[in-house]
Amino acid sequence: MTRSITINNFLLLADTVPLVDVRTPAEFDHGHIPGAFNLPLFSNEERIKVGTTYKQVSREEAILLGFDLVGPKWSGFIKRALEIAPGKKIAVHCWRGGMRSGAMAWALDLYGFEVYLIQGGYKKYRNWVHQQFENKYQLRILGGMTGSGKTRILHQLKAMGEQMIDLEDLAQHQGSSYGTMNKMVQPTQEQFENNLAHELSKLNIQLKIWVEDESITIGKRSVPNPFWYQMRDAPLINIKVDVNHRITSLAAEYGRLDKDFLVECTERIHKRLGPEQTKHAITAIRENRMEDFIRLVLVYYDKTYRAGLTKRNQARVFSLDIDDGSIGSQATQLLNFTNTIPVTEQALT
């Protein structure tokens, strides 16, 4: 049996009904619904052939070519679908809910699957993604200079029951010249947006949500404008941590990285560091004097952070000196402080 279902209704079932995306691997890699499985009706090359035939010959010839290309694959599709959904309940979509998903739904239904066919396909899902960024959220922005431990505190807040979005994890980048940490690979912009929307949809918008202070760009990915504007309007708690503690923490983190990677990243910011600072920083890297290296580059990053802080509405910026204690005590200190500050939810008015 095949049932037509909206994307909103499917998302209510997403935890129990596996989803297959029958678009090409290239389309899937560019952006897909989080958690979906790729079961492509056509390969990348086959889709080009079918599309060319559609445009240059006729719709009918394109359909016949499609049948020729897909014909030998049906058994494999069924076997893979059984691996994905052994309970024989499955959801299917393509780009616009057209022939590709319709054909797959027909075959799966014929075999005995209970099939949910998503109306409007991935295109309708992308509309849903953009709608998530238009929602009004009660954001609290956690700011602080590089090495203040903001990400660790955010995850501790989550462990304590607070709501949190980790933009750097979603973007797979830590926001600086060294942000990939020589191992992270950023998703496409479209996939970053899909992942962010997915995380936002799981939160209660009536309760506060913690987000780390970020530039609009995180590496090569951009925070969607509607959400970014809300971040800029939200109260910012600027935590202040002793500089020596920051240097020690960063030296331990970056000291594990490949030296050639650190040198390459440092050279990329040589115009902002200045020739002498860059030279000394690279020498410190090569000589494994990590605290000296960190101290040199922090001059630039601290200056940049202060400049960015001055561009915010100062009535919405609240500073807090964080004690050198356990991560749990720091998170508790932050929560206690946040409960004392006057907050007007500009984004909700």
Domain match, 179 and 241 both: yes
Domain match, 160 and 294 both: yes
pLDDT tens digit sequence for 40-65: 999 999 999 999 999 999 999 999 99
Given pLDDT bands bounded at 50, 70 and 90, which one contains residue 343? low
Note the pLDDT of residue 131: 97
Domain match, 149 and 232 both: yes
Q: How far is CA 28 from CA 79, 84, 165, 171, 201, in A?
A: 20, 17, 24, 18, 21
Domain match, 266 and 296 both: yes
Q: Give dist(CA 43, CA 20) in Å, integer.
A: 15
Q: Which two tokens stand for residue 312?
A: 């915010």
Domain match, 141 and 110 both: no
Q: Answer whether 341's CB lies under 8 Å from 228's CB.
A: no
Note the pLDDT of residue 346: 47
Domain match, 146 and 106 both: no
- Within 13 A of 301's CA, how many CA atoms are on the CB side? 22
Q: Give dist(CA 2, CA 11) in Å, integer.
A: 17
Domain range for 29: 2-129
Q: Answer whether 294's CB lies under 8 Å from 247's CB.
A: yes
pLDDT tens digit sequence for 219-267: 999 999 999 999 999 999 999 999 999 999 999 999 999 999 999 999 9
Say whether pLDDT at 345 is over 70. Answer: no
Note the pLDDT of residue 37: 98
Given pLDDT bands bounded at 50, 70 and 90, which one contains residue 137? very high
In this structure, the dihedral spanned by the alpha carbons of residues 29, 33, 39 and 43, taken in order and rounded to 10 degrees, is: -30
Note the pLDDT of residue 342: 76
pLDDT tens digit sequence for 17-37: 999 999 999 999 999 999 999
Query: Which candidate, 105, 141, 320, places its Cα nearest to that of 234?
Result: 141
CATH of the domain at 119: 3.40.250.10
Region 4-21: mean pLDDT is 95
Region 72-99: mean pLDDT is 96
In this structure, the dihedral spanned by the alpha carbons of residues 238, 242, 247 and 249, taken in order and rounded to 10 degrees, is: -80
Region 296-320: mean pLDDT is 93
State which of 129, 156, 174 marks the end of a domain: 129
Burial class (CB in 10 A: 0-12, 13-18, 19+), 20: buried
In the annotation, is 265 catalytic? no
Q: Is 240 in a helix, a strand, or coil?
A: strand
Q: Which two tokens stand for residue 333?
A: 């200190």
State which of 98, 129, 160 marks the end of a domain: 129
Say whether pLDDT at 210 is over 90. Answer: yes
Mode of pairing for the β-strands spanning 317-321 and 89-93: unpaired
Q: Which residues pair with 3 in a beta bridge?
A: 116
CATH of the domain at 279: 3.40.50.300
Note the pLDDT of residue 324: 75
Domain match, 91 and 187 both: no
Q: Which two tokens stand for residue 197?
A: 């929307």
State which of 96, 129, 162 marks the end of a domain: 129
If one compares 289 and 342, the residue with the highest pLDDT of the two is: 289
Instruction: Give the least confident one: 62-66, 180-184, 193-197, 342-346.
Output: 342-346
Locate all alpha helices (DSSP H) within the chain, ordered by sequence: 7-13, 25-30, 44-56, 59-70, 74-84, 99-111, 121-134, 150-159, 167-171, 189-201, 225-233, 243-254, 259-268, 270-273, 275-286, 290-310, 327-338
- Within 13 A of 195's CA, how many CA atoms are on the CB side? 20
Q: What phi, psi does 175 have (nearest 5°)?
A: 85, 0
Note the pLDDT of residue 280: 96
Domain match, 156 and 299 both: yes
* Residue of 7, 70, 85, 94 with catalytic role: 94
pLDDT tens digit sequence for 105-122: 999 999 999 999 999 999
Cβ-count burial 172-185 (b if 16+ within 10 Å, e if not):
bbbbbbbbbbeeee
Domain match, 73 and 163 both: no
Domain match, 50 and 154 both: no
Say whether pLDDT at 347 is over 60. Answer: no
Cβ-count burial 63-79 (b if 16+ within 10 Å, e if not):
eebbeebbeebeeebee
Say whether pLDDT at 349 is over 70. Answer: no
Domain match, 116 and 145 both: no
Domain match, 140 and 125 both: no
Say whether pLDDT at 348 is over 90. Answer: no
Mean pLDDT of all residues belonging to the chain: 94
Q: Give dist(CA 320, CA 239) in Å, integer.
A: 5
Given pLDDT bands bounded at 50, 70 and 90, which one contains residue 341? confident
Q: How many domains does the chain have?
A: 2
Note the pLDDT of residue 344: 60
Burial class (CB in 10 A: 0-12, 13-18, 19+), 257: middle
DSSP notation for 123-138: HHHHHHHHHHHHS--E
